[in-house]
């Protein structure tokens, strides 16, 4: 019965969307720096994932959707010739880091990530925020492990130059 299979597939996908939305939204927000652009990116990733849902192994669905999301993000900035629009790039504010992950901290992270070129930003978010291995990032982006290492190293160096040193003097 095709109708039953479609219902089962749709029910499984709906459950996946409920479970994956928070993680994909956080990743998209870190990649774009914009709530609206992140929502658009997540929606596009879900549309493309649904189109391939019959071929996606359900245990790997989040990794698959994250890969679609990052490819969609890369495609978008390539279409704009590498230009990324940000609301405002402010000078670094000297403020204490709040252990509770306050809005100020999230804003600071977004501003710092906006300083990075698109590929470095994607690599840093996937590698350190999503805790993917260098190989996994390379596979998702279709680049070499060496390119991932290089982009991560350059991205972290840039972030270190703009992030305030801790009070103890260790950076």
Q: Which pLDDT band, with edges at 50, 70 and 90, does 107 fall under?
A: confident
* Cα 94 to Cα 75: distance, rounded to the nearest angstrom: 35
- 120 vs 101 pLDDT, higher one: 120
Residue 169 is predicted with a pLDDT of 52
- Confidence bin at 88 (pLDDT 50/70/90): low
pLDDT digits (tens, 9 = 90+) for 117-168: 988 999 999 998 888 899 999 998 889 999 999 999 999 999 888 876 655 5
Question: Residue 68: which of 119, 127, 141 has the closest Cα?
Answer: 141
List domains and CATH numbers for the chain: 1-85 (1.10.1740), 92-171 (1.10.10.10)
Residue 92's pLDDT is what? Answer: 42
Q: Angle at CA 165, nearest 5°, toward 90 and 93?
A: 20
Residue 28 CB partners (closer than 8 Å, separation 6+): 37, 38, 39, 41, 42, 45, 69, 73
Kindly state the greatest CA–CA separation across the chain.
67
Distance CA 158, CA 171 (A): 13
Distances (CA, A) of 120 to 14, 52, 80: 32, 28, 17
Q: How confident is the model over 8-61, as pLDDT tens digits?
A: 889 999 999 999 999 999 999 998 888 999 999 999 999 999 999 988 888 899
Determine contact, residues 81/117, Cβ cutoff 8 Å: no
Arithmetic mean of pLDDT over the chain: 81
Q: What is the pLDDT of residue 130?
A: 87
Return the pLDDT at 1: 42
């Amino acid at each position: 019965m095709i109708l039953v299979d479609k219902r089962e597939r749709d029910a499984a996908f709906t459950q996946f969307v409920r479970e994956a939305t928070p993680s994909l939204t956080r990743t998209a927000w870190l990649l774009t720096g914009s709530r609206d652009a992140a929502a658009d990116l997540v929606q596009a990733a879900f549309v493309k994932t649904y189109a391939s849902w019959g071929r996606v192994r359900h245990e790997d669905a989040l990794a698959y959707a994250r890969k679609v999301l990052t490819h969609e993000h890369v495609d978008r900035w390539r279409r704009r010739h590498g230009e990324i629009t940000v609301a405002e790039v402010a000078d670094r504010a000297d403020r204490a880091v709040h252990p509770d992950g306050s809005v100020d901290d999230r804003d600071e992270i977004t501003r710092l990530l906006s300083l990075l070129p698109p590929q470095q930003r994607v690599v840093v978010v996937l590698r350190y925020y999503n805790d993917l291995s260098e190989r996994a990032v390379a596979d998702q982006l279709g680049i070499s492990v060496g390119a991932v290492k290089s982009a991560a190293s350059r991205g972290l160096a840039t972030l270190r130059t703009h992030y305030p040193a801790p009070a103890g003097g260790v950076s």
